[in-house]
Amino acid sequence: MSAIIGLPAARWVVSLVILAMGLVAWAAPRAAEAAPFHGAIYTTTDACTTVNENVGYTSKLDVFLNGGPQGGSPRGLPDGNYWVRVTEPNGTVLGESTSANATVSGGVLDCDRLWDLVMKESDGSQGYDDTSNNGGEYKAWLCQTNAFSPSSCKTDNFKVREEAPTPVDACAPAPNRIVVFFGGEQLIMSSTQFIEETGLNIPAGTYSVTLRSFDDHSGDDPPQDQDFEQWSVRFGTAGGPESGVISDLPDNLDELTENVGEVELLTDITSLRAVHALSGQGPTGPESVTPVCVALDRVDD
Domain annotation for the chain: domains and CATH numbers: 40-159 (2.60.40), 177-298 (2.60.120.260)
DSSP letter at 150?
A: G
Mean of pLDDT values over 135-149: 95
Distance CA 63, CA 56 (A): 9
CB–CB of 141/148 below 8 Å?
yes
Given a cut of 80, whether residue 1 has pLDDT beyond it is no
Given a cut of 90, whether residue 220 has pLDDT beyond it is no
Cβ contacts of 260 within 8 Å, gap of 6 or more: 209, 210, 211, 232, 243, 244, 245, 246
Distance CA 257, CA 171 (A): 9
Residue type at position 280:
G
The segment with the largest mean pLDDT, out of 7-11, 14-18, 71-75, 234-238, is 234-238
Mean of pLDDT values over 12-19: 45
Distance CA 256, CA 248 (A): 8
Structure confidence by residue, pLDDT tens digits, 227-282: 678 899 999 876 789 999 999 888 778 899 999 999 999 999 999 999 988 776 65
Instruction: Note the pLDDT of residue 196.
Output: 93
pTM of the predicted model as reported, rounded to 2 decimal places = 0.48
Instruction: Note the pLDDT of residue 227.
Output: 67
Distance CA 241, CA 269 (A): 10
